[in-house]
Amino acid sequence: MSDRYTNRELSWLDFNDRVLAMAADKEAPLLERAKFLAIFATNLDEFFQVRVAGLKEQAALGVRAPAADGMTAEEQLAAIREQVLPLYRELSRIFLEEVAPGLEEAGLIFSSWEELDDEDRKFVDEQFRQRVFPVLTPLAVDPAHPFPYISNLSLNLAVFVRNPKSGVSRFARVKVPPILPRFLMMPDGERFLPLEQVIAAHLEELFPGMDILAHYPFRVTRNADLSLEEEEADDLLAAIETELSRRRFGRVVRVEVEPSITDDALDLLMREMRLTADDVYLVDGPLDMTGLWALTELHRPDLKWDAFTWVTEPRLAPVEGEAPNLFDVIGAGDVMVHHPYDSFTNSVVTFLSQAARDPHVLAIKQTLYRTSAGSPIMKALVQAAKAGKQVAALVELKARFDEERNIEWARLLEEVGVHVVYGLVGLKTHTKTALVVREEGDVIRRYSHVGTGNYNDATARVYEDLGLLTADDDIGADLTDLFNFLTGYSSQRKYRKLLVAPVQLRKRLGKMIEQETAADDGHIVMKMNSLTDEDMIEALYRASAAGTKVELIVRGICCLRPGVKGLSENITVRSIVGRYLEHSRIYRFGSAERGRQYYLGSADLMPRNLDHRVEVVTPITHPSLQERIEEILEVLFTDDVLAWELRPDGEYQRVPTEVGINTHERLQELALRRAAGKR
C-alpha cells in the first residue's frame, strides 16, 4: 500500500464488503439480508464488467504505468483476486449457513430436485413442458458446430452427452433463459426450485436418444464497458447503439462455476473462452445470487423492515387534498427536500407536472441521466410538449447500463416535439437540474431544481438524496446559461452562484479548501460517494498539516488515508452503509464563528466528475435550510450503528455501538416530527 493513497479498486471492494456485512447482520430481517446478498452480487458483476475488464485490457496492451498508489495493472488484478476469493466464501457462508436456513424456518424453502416427492415432480414436469422447454435452445459442439457464443451474465448448463450407437461423446450448452424467473415457485407458495435444476432434471427431453453423462452450471461475465470514440462519432445515437451491440461480444473476464465441476469440463470452458485459472471462481451454493432480488417481491412483512411511508415537506403538503401551487410556494422562499424521507412524488414530480399543465409556463428544460421505466417525469415532459410549451431535454445516452432505456425515452420525446440533445462529445452530463420558465404578468420568472440524485421515482424510494427548489434569479440565470451550453454552441466560463464542472468546480472547491487551510479555525466537512482525485486529496493533506479539521463521510471508494502521522492527522473518514443508499453530496466550509458556506450537488471528488462530466453544485443560503443540513450532518457523525471508520492502515472498522443511533431510523423520526409540525 502506498504511504499516501489506497488503491481505488481495493477500496471499492472494501465498500462491497461493507454491503456484505449488512447481509451478515443477524439483527436485520431475513428478506432484507437476502436483498443485500443480491446487491453485493450485482455490485460485483458491474465491478468485473467494467473495472476488472479495464485492468485486463491494460495488462494485455502491456501498459506498465502504475496507478497513484504505485500498483501496475497486473499487480492490481492479483490483489483483486486475493481480496475477492474470501468475499465469495463469505457470500456462500451467509447464504448457506444463515439466510437459507433462516428462511426455511420462516416457511420459505430453497428446494432441490432430489428433495421433491412424486407429486412435486409431476408439477415441475408440467411447468417445464409448458413454460420452459419451448424457450430452450440447446447448442451442440461438434465438427460442424463451433463452440457457441456465451452471452454476458448468462447462467448456463455445460452438458456432456454420448451417442449410445457410436459411443462418441459431445459437449452441449444450454442457456438458462433470463426471461424466466430465477426460481420456480412450488404450488404451496413456500418452496423455490432453481431454474437450472428444473432444466437439468429434464435434459433427456432436450437430447432424446442420447446418454446424459454429466452437467455443470456455469456463469460468464464479459467486458461490458463502452469504448466509444466520440470524436469520430458524427451521430452519437447511432454510435451508442453500435457499441451496445458490441458489448455482448466483449472479452470474457470471469467464469463462475460450482465446486463439483470436473477438471476436464473446466479445462474445456477455459480453453474455448481463452481463460486462465485466475479468471475462474468456485462458488458454493447457487450461482447468480442477483436472482435473490425476486424474493423482495414476496408479501412477507414479518421478514422485512417496517415499511416507511415518506412524508411531504410541510410547505409542499396538500391542503384539503389538493397540492398547493408550487410556484407560489417556491416563489416565497427556497425549499429543500430530503429523499427518501421526503416524498419525491409530492415535490419534484409535482413541480414538473404542474409546470406541464400551467398555462403560464413557457418552457421546461431538464437533464436526464437515469430514470424509471414508467417515469412520471417523462410523462410530464410529453404532456408539456403536447401542450405547445418549449421543452428541451438532455438525455445522457452514455449512462452506463441505462443506455438502451435512455435511447427509447429519447426517441419517444422526439416524437412529441421535445428538443432532445443526446449529450456532449467527450463529456457525460451527470448534473441533476431542471429549469421552468414562467410568465407572471409583465415578468418572466425562472424556477429551478438542483439535486444530488437522478430523476427516478423508483430509486428515490431507496436512495438518499437532497434537492433544492428555488426561484433565485441568479441560479435561474445560471441554469439558462448552462442549458444554452448543453443544447447549443456556447463557451460559457462564468456562473453567478452555481459551481459547474468541468468549467470552474475544481478551481472553486480548491480555493475554498485553501481558505480553510489558511484560517486559524479552519474546518472542512464533505459528504460524497467517492474520493479519488489526487489533487483534491493533496489539498486536504495540506489542510490537515496546517491544523485544519477535515471530516469526511465517503460511502464508497476513498483513496485518501486518514489519521496518518505527519500526513493526515486532522482528517477522519467514516462510511455509512444501511437500509438506504447514501447518495447525496454535501460540502461545508468554515466555522461557526466565521460563518459557514453550504453546497449540495451531483459531483463526487473524482477526476471524471471534476474534469469529464457536466456537474452542478449549488449553494444553500437560507438559514433554515442550512440548519437542516446541520441536522443531517449531526446524525451522520453520531451514528454508531451503520457507521464504519477508515483507519490509517487502510482498513475499515465498525464504530462501536454505545448510544444506538441509526442514521436512517433517526432521519425517519425527524421527518415524521417535521411533518407533524414538531422540531
d(CA 521, CA 599): 20
Listed in sequence order, the residues at least 6 apart from 325 whose beta carbon sits closer than 8 Å to its beta carbon are: 354
Output the nine-digit C-alpha cell for 180: 424466466
Q: Which residue has the cell 444530488?
A: 452
d(CA 483, CA 449): 13
d(CA 461, CA 454): 12
Write the burial class of residue 359 (CB in 10 Å: 0-12 exposed, 13-18 middle, 19+ buried).
Answer: exposed
Pairing status of strand 643-646 against strand 581-582:
unpaired
Nearest to 324, CA basis, from 312, 334, 340? 312
Identify any residues that bridge with 390 across adjacent strands, giving them in sequence order: 363
Nearest to 454, CA basis, from 522, 399, 387, 509? 399
Question: What region, left, alpha or beta, does residue 114 occupy, with left being phi > 0 and alpha being psi -120 to 50 degrees?
Answer: alpha
Beta-strand runs (E) in 419-522: 419-421, 428-429, 432-440, 443-451, 463-470, 499-501
Return the CA Rg of the chain.
27
> H or E element: which one contains 650?
none
Q: Which amino acid is at 249?
A: F
Q: Which residue has the cell 421526503?
A: 342
Which residue numbers are catalytic?
430
Q: Which amino acid is at 477?
A: A
Output the nine-digit C-alpha cell for 11: 477500496
Tell me, rounded to whole angstroms, the distance of Cα 95 from its chain centroid: 23
Output the nine-digit C-alpha cell for 166: 457410436
Greatest C-alpha distance within the chain? 91
